[in-house]
RNA sequence: GCCGCAGUAGCUCAGUCGGUAGAGCACCUGAUUUGUAAUCAGGGGGUCGGCGGUUCGAUCCCGUCCUGCGGCACCA
């Protein structure tokens, strides 16, 4: 007797083990047709699997959000089958469901091109139409290996050896195509909705290792319905419209050029945005008890050797030396490196003069300009560059102070993210990596302290094993933007290693020398990247206090030109960034242009306004307008443009 | 760095089956003084990413380098 509890709480009893398909059929023919899989005690399983024990069972249909993973995984298999039918000699390797879709990695000499996509998609649809039953079976290890060998599938054959001994190997077959796979899968290819689309092709390494052969990965997206697919494609388009590289050009914020790969040319508008952000950060840091410093760009290699950076990161460091012919004698063998990080410099400042326990915690901030020789393929607009400015700070403190400092930092970070328009963030805890400095005892201590601090700050932690910095564990703060994308920005790292290596010390209450602990922390990460994130988050429509150009006074007739100048001056006197547009153009033209440039406030000035000393305000994205006396308008805009904290 | 794709005017893009290029917007000039998302007319502007090769002739074909784009890998 098997008792099946359905999601509505009702119980059905069967004499013999029953499959999900039979169960669905017993409930109704509609459900039997719609059934894609079953969830047995919350676990997704094949519809054909006999259920022998009492269980809570739910029939999964395309409407179930969990069905998407199934659909996407099956889409990957159908893709692989289609590719092998169309391109004989192509080997299959691995193809999972991923967020929004799926991919499959193939081994084939000739490249796939996006032009092949239409043909492959067509064949995928045919395979769906064939409605091939998808059957699971258990294969004996050597037999399966031999089968793959015979069929020229060397990657699959190799993989079998990697699977834990003694584990069952399941094979899913659809028609005469099969793949080794843990499943679950749909009951037949005909159940796969045709709401899929191949999106891109890229290179990848077998098992992710650059030493291994290069495979070709075909990406696709798959959904339960045509409508969902359309919606997703539309979202992608919207994301493209927010691209900071595009908006950066349109709003004249910055540019990049090949003579300075990985460095940003900031235009007046972009630099205004930067400076506003910097002044804001400065104000917040000052209020939180930080001091600000600036450390050198060019530092003798010797210091990097002492700090340990040379050892681990010299490949990513830019070197600078005087030309040999003209170098002064004292520079003989000296090699300078352009700083990739600010921490060793901060320690040098800490080490000047004797520090007392009374000086701790010492919160030393630096908008530190760093250079790193990033791999060429890593560059991306202003988000990933070789020259960047961190909103860095190093807190020198005692071990008992770690917790309070961490809690205070989390508060500061929360405030700043909120001010900048990000309500949503989560936190990852990264512990010791394989390659690291410092003893295990020191790591135990550091990880323990950071974890305790995170708990005290009331953070929910996601574990991120092995991803810590070489000198210590870290918290990583990840923002969620307006269209749901995640950006890792803030970080808090506990470091017992660097003070030791660089011999930083303070005099304790006992009159003896002690090692301070160093907390490395950043909130924005880098100004370059964070500016890019702000651009994409707001789609260029910045909050008034951040907008590079806050208001434009646009005239309708040239008779209002003089008055427009007065308006501009009044706005400037109130601390607003304003311009005039006196061009000989129609007001329609001016409104269109400044709207596209995402200027938040337009002041329309015609003969009437000039005569009555009024302005007509039109806010970006609104057709509604408002006519106010000049003084009143300036006061109102000043209030609207007020930053979250008075700017330093 | 790796795989693939791309590079034509400031921007977006068309074009040349090898005979030194074109549109729209932008820019300049003139006319127009205009009331809430593009006024009209005229004009200037390109060593068709760099270098080398094939060819009578290369923007087009071949090689190579650079840069960008999408992933992978990387992200102290």
A150-172 confidence digits (pLDDT tens): 999 999 998 888 888 888 899 99
Q: DSSP state, A469?
A: B
- Give nearest nucleotide to A312 (CA–C1'): B76
Cα dist from A540 to A246, A424, A546, A621, whole Å: 10, 20, 10, 12
Average pLDDT over residues A141-154: 92
When mean pLDDT is compared across A5-14, A143-152, A286-295, A514-523, the lowest value belongs to A5-14
Q: Is the CB of A115 under 7 A from strand B?
A: no
pLDDT at residue A332 tops 80: no
Tokens read off for A271: 């630099």
First to last CA, chain A: 76
Q: Which of residues 437-496 of A touch strand B (CB under 7 A)?
A: 469-471, 493
Q: Widest CA span of chain A, in angstroms?
A: 95
* Minimum-distance residue to B49 (CA–C1'): A258
pLDDT at residue A109 tops 90: no
Q: pTM value?
A: 0.91
pLDDT of residue A15: 85
Q: Is the CB of A275 under 7 A from strand B?
A: no
Contact A37, A23 (CB under 8 A): no
pLDDT of residue A144: 93
Average pLDDT over residues A491-520: 95
pLDDT of residue A634: 98
pLDDT of residue A164: 83
A196-210 confidence digits (pLDDT tens): 999 988 889 998 888
- In chain A, residues under CATH classification 3.10.20.30 are 2-60
pLDDT of residue A454: 87
A383-441 confidence digits (pLDDT tens): 999 999 999 999 999 999 998 999 999 999 999 999 999 988 999 999 988 878 788 88
How far apart, in whole angstroms, are the C-alpha atoms of residue A551 and residue A533?
23
Average pLDDT over residues A547-576: 96
Q: Among the options A191, A363, A372, A590, which is catalytic?
A: A372
Show which positions of strand B are touched by protein (CB under 7 A).
Answer: 1-5, 11, 31-39, 66-76
Considering only CA atoms, which of A345, A442, A431, A354 is closest in space to residue A394?
A: A345
A174 catalytic? Reply is no
A343 catalytic? Reply is yes
Domain covering A258-423+483-538, topology: BirA Bifunctional Protein; domain 2 (3.30.930)
| Partner residues linked to A380 by β-bridges | A384
Sheet of strand A601-605: strand arrangement: A578-581, A551-555, A601-605, A614-619, A625-629
How far apart, in whole angstroms, are the C-alpha atoms of residue A537 and residue A545?
16
- Give nearest nucleotide to A200 (CA–C1'): B70
- Give nearest nucleotide to A585 (CA–C1'): B34
Residue A391: CB atoms within 10 A of its CB come to: 25
A474 catalytic? Reply is yes
How far apart, in whole angstroms, are the C-alpha atoms of residue A138 and residue A199?
33
Contact A601, A619 (CB under 8 A): yes
How far apart, in whole angstroms, are the C-alpha atoms of residue A581 and residue A605?
10
Q: List, in order, residues 6 or more apart from A183 with CB less than 8 Å away.
A: A45, A46, A136, A170, A172
DSSP string across A215-228: EEEEEEEE-SSHHH
Considering only CA atoms, which of A542, A501, A520, A547 is closest in space to residue A450?
A: A520
pLDDT of residue A453: 84
- Give nearest nucleotide to A595 (CA–C1'): B37
Contact A329, A380 (CB under 8 A): no
Q: Among the options A105, A392, A495, A581, which is catalytic?
A: A392
| Partner residues linked to A172 by β-bridges | A136, A179
SS3 string of A557-579?
A: CHHHHHHHHHHHHHHHHCCCCEE
- Give nearest nucleotide to A112 (CA–C1'): B4
| DSSP-based three-state secondary structure for A341 | coil
How far apart, in whole angstroms, are the C-alpha atoms of residue A85 and residue A429?
46
Torsion of CA A483, A486, A492, A497, to 10 degrees: -160
- In chain A, residues under CATH classification 3.30.980.10 are 84-238
Determine the distance between A50 (CA) and B63 (C1') in angstroms: 63
Report ipTM for this prediction.
0.94
User: Which position has the token pair 């930053």?
Assistant: A643
How far apart, in whole angstroms, are the C-alpha atoms of residue A593 and residue A589?
6
Determine the distance between A8 (CA) and B75 (C1') in angstroms: 49
CA A52 to chain CA mean position, Å: 45
How far apart, in whole angstroms, are the C-alpha atoms of residue A84 and residue A90?
6
Determine the distance between A66 (CA) and B74 (C1') in angstroms: 33
Considering only CA atoms, which of A3, A18, A4 is closest in space to residue A58?
A: A4
CATH architecture group of domain A84-238: 2-Layer Sandwich (3.30)
User: In this structure, which CATH number among 3.30.365.10, 3.40.50.300, 2.30.30.60, 3.10.20.30 belongs to the domain A2-60?
Assistant: 3.10.20.30
Q: Which of residues 191-210 of A touch strand B (CB under 7 A)?
A: 200-205, 208, 210
User: Which position has the token pair 């520079």?
Assistant: A331
Question: What number of H helices and E strands is found in chain A?
Answer: 20, 35
In which band, very low, low, confident or very high, does the pLDDT at A225 lie, cut at 50, 70 and 90?
very high
pLDDT at residue A305 tops 90: yes
Considering only CA atoms, which of A590, A532, A589 is closest in space to residue A564?
A: A590
How far apart, in whole angstroms, are the C-alpha atoms of residue A564 and residue A567?
5
Q: Is the CB of A621 under 7 A from strand B?
A: yes
Q: Among the options A284, A394, A598, A614, which is catalytic?
A: A394
A232-283 confidence digits (pLDDT tens): 988 888 888 999 999 999 999 999 998 899 999 999 999 999 999 999 999 9
A112-135 confidence digits (pLDDT tens): 887 788 889 999 999 999 999 999
* Minimum-distance residue to B36 (CA–C1'): A588
Q: Which of residues 398-437 of A touch strand B (CB under 7 A)?
A: none
- In chain A, residues under CATH classification 3.30.930.10 are 258-423+483-538
Determine the distance between A111 (CA) and B62 (C1') in angstroms: 20
pLDDT of residue A168: 86
Higher pLDDT, A548 or A457: A548
User: In this structure, which CATH number among 3.40.50.1470, 3.90.245.10, 3.40.50.800, 3.30.70.1450 belongs to the domain A551-640?
Assistant: 3.40.50.800
Query: How many Cα neighbours within 13 Å face the side chain of A592?
Result: 5
SS3 string of A78-94?
A: HHHHHHHHHCCCCEEEE
Average pLDDT, chain A: 92
């Amino acid at each position: 007797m098997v008792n099946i509890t359905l999601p509505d709480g009702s119980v059905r009893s069967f004499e013999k083990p029953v499959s999900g398909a039979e169960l669905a059929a017993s409930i109704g023919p509609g459900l039997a047709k719609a059934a894609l899989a079953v969830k047995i005690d919350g676990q997704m399983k094949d519809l054909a699997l006999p259920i022998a024990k009492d269980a809570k069972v739910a029939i999964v249909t395309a409407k179930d959000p969990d069905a998407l993973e199934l659909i996407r995984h099956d889409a990957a298999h159908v893709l692989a089958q289609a590719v092998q039918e169309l391109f004989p000699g192509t080997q299959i390797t691995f193809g999972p469901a991923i967020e929004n879709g799926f991919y499959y990695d193939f081994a084939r000499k000739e490249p796939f091109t996006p032009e092949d996509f239409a043909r492959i998609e067509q064949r995928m649809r045919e395979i769906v139409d064939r409605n091939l039953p998808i059957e699971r079976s258990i294969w004996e290890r050597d037999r399966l290996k031999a089968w793959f060998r015979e069929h020229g599938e060397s990657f699959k054959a190799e993989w079998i050896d990697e699977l834990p001994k003694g584990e069952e190997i399941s094979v899913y077959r659809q028609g005469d195509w099969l793949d080794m796979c843990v499943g679950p899968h749909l009951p037949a290819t005909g159940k796969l909705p045709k709401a899929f689309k191949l999106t891109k092709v890229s290179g990848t390494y077998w098992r992710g290792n650059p030493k291994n052969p290069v495979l070709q990965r075909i990406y696709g997206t798959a959904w339960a319905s045509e409508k969902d697919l359309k919606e997703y494609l539309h979202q992608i388009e919207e994301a493209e419209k927010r691209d900071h590289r595009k908006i950066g050009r349109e709003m004249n914020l910055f540019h990049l050029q090949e003579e300075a790969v990985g460095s940003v040319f900031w235009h007046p508008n972009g630099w205004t945005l930067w400076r506003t952000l910097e002044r804001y950060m400065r104000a917040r840091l000052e209020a939180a008890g930080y001091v600000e410093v600036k450390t050198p760009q060019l530092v003798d290699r010797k210091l990097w050797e002492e700090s340990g950076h040379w050892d681990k990161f010299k490949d990513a460091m830019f070197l600078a030396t005087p030309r040999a012919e003209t170098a002064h004698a004292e520079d003989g063998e000296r090699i300078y490196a352009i700083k990739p990080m600010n921490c060793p410099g901060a320690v040098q400042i800490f080490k000047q003069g004797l520090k007392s326990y009374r000086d701790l915690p010492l919160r030393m901030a630096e908008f530190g300009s760093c250079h790193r020789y990033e791999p060429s393929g890593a560059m991306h607009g202003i988000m990933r560059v070789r020259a960047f400015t961190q909103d860095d700070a190093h807190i020198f403190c005692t071990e008992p102070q770690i917790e309070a400092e961490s809690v205070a930092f989390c508060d500061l970070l929360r405030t700043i993210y909120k001010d900048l328009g990000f309500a949503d963030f989560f936190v990852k805890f990264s512990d010791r990596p394989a390659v690291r400095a410092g003893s295990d005892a020191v790591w135990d201590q550091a990880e323990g302290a950071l974890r305790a601090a995170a708990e005290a700050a009331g953070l929910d932690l996601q574990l991120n094993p092995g991803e810590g910095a070489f000198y210590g564990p870290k918290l990583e703060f990840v923002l969620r933007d307006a269209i749901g994308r995640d950006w890792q920005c803030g970080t808090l790292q506990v470091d017992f290693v660097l003070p030791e290596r660089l011999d930083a010390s303070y005099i304790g209450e006992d009159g003896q020398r002690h090692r301070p602990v160093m907390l490395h922390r950043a909130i924005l990460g880098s100004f370059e990247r964070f500016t890019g994130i702000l651009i994409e988050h707001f789609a260029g429509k910045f909050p008034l206090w951040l907008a590079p150009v806050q208001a434009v006074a646009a005239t309708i007739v040239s008779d209002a030109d003089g008055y427009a100048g007065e308006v501009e001056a009044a706005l400037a006197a109130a601390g607003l960034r304003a311009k005039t547009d006196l061009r000989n153009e129609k007001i329609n033209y001016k409104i269109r242009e400044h709207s596209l440039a995402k200027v938040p406030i337009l002041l329309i000035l015609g003969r009437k306004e000039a005569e009555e000393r009024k302005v007509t305000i039109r806010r970006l994205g609104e057709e509604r307008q408002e006519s106010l006396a000049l003084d009143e308008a300036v006061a109102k805009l000043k209030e609207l443009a007020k930053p979250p904290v008075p700017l330093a």
